[in-house]
Homo-oligomer: A and B are copies of this chain.
Amino acid sequence: MAEREVDRSVSQTVKAQLALRDQILSGALRPGERISELQAVETTGASRTPVRMALVRLEEEGLLEAIPSGGFMVKAFSERDISDSIELRGTLEGLAARFAAERGVSARELEPLKECLAAIDELLRQVPISVDAFSSYVTLNARFHALLTELSRSPPVIRQIDRASALPFASPSAFVMAQSALTEAQQILIIAQEHHRVVIDAIENREGARAEAIMREHARLAVRNLRLALRNRTHLDLLPALALIKTATD
């Protein structure tokens, strides 16, 4: 217990939640496996009450499943579950983009989006794209999507998108890092950036249908990345979330 500063600053509940999530995503807890509260108490250092709170939150988050007779188990996801989750996110982001377009967005609100866009442009200028640049892309991409979501100015929509993106494999940049070595990945990034450009243009011109359609298509890129990542299993270590995928043999 050397991390005294962490112990005191954040609540035990959050600490337990983060620790358990790490264990799940790292594969230390395998899908289908029942999570023992006492074991979780030992590994997280928190007592049973915050551990239970963390388990409830992780269930709501979608990583755990309640067992009818009591307790929780790690959820297993099929490849289709994952692609559906990504398409779900795309649909919701499409709704957000449409709302933004239909309801109008001021130039001032669009500013940060455009800055983000320019920053990604800058990144993609170098060829081939370095691993560091991939990493920066992930950050900027997450920022772009977050800003876009907020443009809807609809708390219920924002909330739902956040919930949909909480699943680690459904988030906008989930499978970007997976094929940083592949040449195809660079093309995908360029296409993704074009989508970013189009959605901003559509919102500026109040073209709701166009904004919605492009965000849906944009999410399809993530599905493509998922497929690529599963076929080229060279960089699977970059994808902790893959520990949750149930294959046909399981």
Residues of B near A91 (CB, < 8 A) are 91-92, 95
Contact in complex: A154, B52 (CB < 8 Å): no
Q: Is the interface of A mostly helix, strand, loop or mixed?
A: helix
* Interface size of A in residues (CB-CB distance below 8 Å): 26
Complex Cα–Cα for A163 and B167 (A)? 15
Q: Per-residue 0/1 for A49-60: is the Cβ within 8 Å of any B Cβ (1 yes, 0 no)? A: 100110011001
Q: Which residues of A (163-185) have their CB < 8 Å from a CB of B?
A: 163-164, 167
Interface segment out of the listed A80-88, A122-130, A191-199 = A80-88
- Chain A residues close to B by CB (< 8 Å): 49, 52-53, 56-57, 60, 62, 80-81, 84-85, 87-88, 91-92, 95, 99, 154-157, 159-160, 163-164, 167
| Contact partner, A57, options B56, B81, B92, Cβ 8 Å | B56
Name the residue in A62, A85, A92, A156 with the highest tally of chain B Cβ atoms < 10 Å from its Cβ. Answer: A156
Closest to A212 in B: B91
Which residues of chain B come closer than 8 Å to A92, judged between CB atoms? 88, 91
Q: Say whether B60 contacts A157, CB under 8 Å.
A: no
User: Knowing that A52-B53, A85-B156 are A-B contacts, what are 6 other residue pairs whose CB atoms are under 8 Å apart, sorted by A's residue number?
Assistant: A53-B53, A53-B56, A56-B56, A62-B156, A80-B154, A88-B92
| Shortest Cβ distance from A62 into B: residue | B159
Minimum CB–CB distance for A170 against chain B, Å: 8
Asked whether A156 and B88 contact (CB < 8 A) given A60-B60, A163-B163, the answer is: yes
A92 to B160, CA, bound (A): 11
Decide: A157 near B88, CB < 8 A? Known: A49-B49, A163-B163: yes
Instruction: Give Cα A92–Cα B164 distance, bound, in whole angstroms.
Output: 12
Query: Across the interface, do A155 and B53 meet the contact criterion of CB distance under 8 Å?
Result: no
B156, A160: Cβ atoms closer than 8 Å:
no
Distance, CA A12 to CA B62, complexed state (A): 23
Cβ contact within 8 Å between B84 and A156: yes
CA distance A49 to B167 in the complex (A): 28
Among candidates B62, B85, B87, B95, residue contacting A88 with C-beta atoms closer than 8 Å: B95
